[in-house]
Amino acid sequence: MSEKIYELIIVGAGPAGITAAVYAARKKLDFVIISQDIGGQAAWSGDIENYTGYQFITGPELALKFNEHMAAFGIDVVMPRLAQKIVKEGNIIRVTTEKTEYKARAVIIATGKKPRELGIEGEKEFKNKGVTYCATCDGPLFRDKPVAIIGGGNSGLDAALQMMKISPKVYLINNTAELTGDRIMIEKLRQSTGVEVRNNTVVVRISGERFVNGIEVSQNSQVYHLSVKGVFVEIGLIPNSQCAAEVDKNTQGEIIVDCRNRTNVEGMFAAGDVTNVPEKQIIIACGEGSKACLAAFNYLATHAA
């Protein structure tokens, strides 16, 4: 355990955490950024068309740009580090990971979200054997194979748009009456003859032997078997907020912050998808990360060490 006390710890290196780190470097703060990876959910995205300054960029390319920006400031991310507990004792905040403990006067929690699971038969058995939660990461493994995308929001549409380029048949399984993603994405999807959208449909079972070979779906009280080799689960995300037991959260588990990214615990700030700020977008997370760092800087300047 290090006895060093930083001014600031940034937990998470997704868009919010990385932007906070760049601002912390510009403010000459003594800080450390710890994370499991670089890029967070942004690195999992396919085609990104709504990030200012880029008419088009992929998730992995944007994550690389983020990394290059940090490198220009000499920022190193300590990883892989999973924050298990964040607690405040007196004026010091302790961040405990699976390997060590870090201490600081302030912390920015930018831990993002993790994929939500279906919770059905066959999901755990075939995880990484045909069941995946990231089309950007694993999509190429299913080239020329039929696949199913579970989810009718932007995540599901993004996965379908990626897979329709390399898969002969894509089933898009949506449990509501209509797709709920962005209209421009829906229009692109409708132009493909290889995508079959099934609304009002739920997956009840994933089947296979050594690897996935199909799914059972229920549609209008009828059960159908669809032959697929890959199942991409894109039904939403869960906040990675368990590590911060002291901060207030909403019913979805998101950390509640005010307009300056302050939590109910003095010295603890939060930014990005882990918070209750509406609209989970990369560009919004970046803005929230900068706000959180500026608020943390003000806190450090006005509170004695």
Condensed to tens digits (0 to 9), the pLDDT of residues 18-53 reads 999 999 999 999 999 999 988 887 877 777 877 888
Q: Give the Cα separation of 231 and 167 in Å (integer).
A: 12
**CATH number for the domain that contains residue 198:** 3.50.50.60
Q: Is the peptide bond before 115 cis (omega within 30 degrees of 0)?
A: no
Does 24 share its domain with 51? yes
Residue 2 has pLDDT above 60, yes or no: no
**Could you tell me which residue, 174 or 76, shows the higher pLDDT?**
174
Catalytic residue among 30, 37, 47, 138: 138
Q: How confident is the model at residue 94 (pLDDT cuts 50, 70, 90)?
A: very high
Does 196 share its domain with 90? no
Does 206 share its domain with 256? no
Domain count, the chain: 2
Last residue of a domain, one of 233, 266, 284: 233
Please give the average per-residue pLDDT across 159-171, as a whole number: 95
Residue 1 has pLDDT above 80, yes or no: no
Catalytic residue among 134, 243, 286, 293: 134
Active site residue 134: yes
Q: What local confidence, expressed as pLDDT, does residue 294 receive?
A: 98
Active site residue 138: yes
Does 215 share its domain with 249? no
Active site residue 243: no
Does 176 share its domain with 256? no
Residue 253 has pLDDT above 60, yes or no: yes
Last residue of a domain, one of 182, 201, 233: 233
Catalytic residue among 30, 137, 248, 258: 137
Could you tell me the residue range of the domain that residue 245 belongs to? 5-114+237-302
Q: How confident is the model at residue 137 (pLDDT cuts 50, 70, 90)?
A: confident
